[in-house]
Amino acid sequence: MRGSSTFNRRINNLNFMTNGKWFNIQFDNPENFYSAVEELLRQFGPPYGAADNKIIPNGFFWSSLAINVLLKSREYCANPTQKECSNKEEEITQYSFMHTEVTLFLLAIVALSWLTVNFKRKIKNGGCNNPIHRQSGNKSAQCTIGSNFHKQLYRNYAKVLEDLLKMVNA
């Protein structure tokens, strides 16, 4: 990806409605959303588990993530409104933080922020599962093989996002 500033400009320039924008706050630091998800992972564990060959969703994680996203939606949502079709209050088209579109849009931003920061950290330290390469104390393990593996995954991740943006902008 070209950098967080390009990502932020594209997100904030997506105007789908007449005289409207989705969010009133600039997304300037994906670390904030990353930290929020990491805190949920520390508190509740991974988003899923497995037993008897069945995937079991971690309800505590998912419900906490949903609440977190709703609270962030309330904070960030610009309440885009379109009043041109009617002057009657009940016929105005408006999206508040409680609308599915806003919630899922912000959930996507949270997820993409977490993925971006997570990949960049794994590129930096290798993200290797070899116990010999694990970090000791405050020193991170440097595994070039793991780093290159995550760099390839990150490039593919960025390509997927670029392709999605091409479809969005088509």
DSSP 133: G
CB contact at 8 A, 26 and 12: yes
Mean pLDDT of 121-132: 82
Per residue in 6-42, pLDDT tens? 545 444 444 444 447 888 888 888 999 999 999 999 9
Counting Cα atoms < 13 Å in the Cβ hemisphere of 32 gives: 9
With beta carbons less than 8 A apart as the criterion, state whether 168 and 14 touch: yes
Q: Which two tokens stand for residue 151?
A: 């760099």
Residue 129 — pLDDT band, cuts 50, 70, 90? confident
